[in-house]
Amino acid sequence: MPARRGGGVPALLQAMEDEAVKRPPFAPPYLRAGKLLIAQTANILQFLGPRLRLVPRDHSARIWVHQLQLTVADLVDEVHDTHHPIASSLYYAQQKTEARRRARYLTGERIPKYLDYFERVLAAHRGTYAVGRTVTYVDLSLFQLLAGLRYAYPRTLRRLEAGLPRLVTLHERVCALPRIAAYLASPRRIAFNEEGIFRHYLELDRAGR
């Protein structure tokens, strides 16, 4: 809901700061579902997964999907910390030197290590999707992860993708799911930009070379 109708950022902050809220979120994103206020992306997905039929039924598969999701979250944190290596409260321009130094390790060591891991997971499962027989929320997250990394670090990804055939195929499969395709073609799909987690700064993509 937009701010002029009582939604938007003001409403978001209000719930976070309201003393009456006994279980306040630390940061957005968070989801209000009836009386529940649920924060942390992986936690929100764990809640939504069964309701949207985006996880298998069995307990061990659910734990595994959640584990993979937390690993995605770890890489997303590292991507964020590369353009903000010193403090989130400083502008990128105020921490460029440190960002470059950090980006060298992100592009040279960390992105390859995480993506090789996901490639190995897909190879071991030998399925159409990462877990079980049908699409789960971690497939959607892996799609978004690859899309974001391609945007932020195109050079690095071009170098790595030949070694990641399963991840690339999974990305294509998710794109082609009818409802995902409709979302991607709609105004709901916000283009990557330099205010989000995945930011394209040429000097960071090149830091490793």
Ligand X SMILES: N[C@@H](CCC(=O)N[C@@H](CS)C(=O)NCC(=O)O)C(=O)O
- Residues that bind ligand X in the complex, under the rule CB under 6 A: 27-29, 40-41, 73, 88
Minimum distance, C-beta of residue 164 to ligand X, in the bound complex (Å)? 23
Q: Which residue, 44 or 147, has its beta carbon nearer to ligand X?
A: 44
Q: What's the rounded Cα separation, in Å, for the pair 143 and 130?
A: 11
Minimum distance, C-beta of residue 27 to ligand X, in the bound complex (Å)? 4
Q: What's the rounded Cα separation, in Å, for the pair 91 and 76?
A: 19
Q: What's the rounded Cα separation, in Å, for the pair 100 and 73?
A: 22
Q: Which residue, 29 or 165, has its beta carbon nearer to ligand X?
A: 29
Minimum distance, C-beta of residue 30 to ligand X, in the bound complex (Å)? 8
Q: What's the rounded Cα separation, in Å, for the pair 142 and 139?
A: 5
Is residue 32 helix, strand or coil? strand
Q: What's the rounded Cα separation, in Å, for the pair 1 and 12?
A: 10
Minimum distance, C-beta of residue 26 to ligand X, in the bound complex (Å)? 7
Q: Which residue, 41 or 128, has its beta carbon nearer to ligand X?
A: 41
Q: Which residues contact 85 (CB under 8 A, 6 or more apart)?
A: 95, 98, 99, 101, 102
Q: Which residue, 39 or 168, has its beta carbon nearer to ligand X?
A: 39
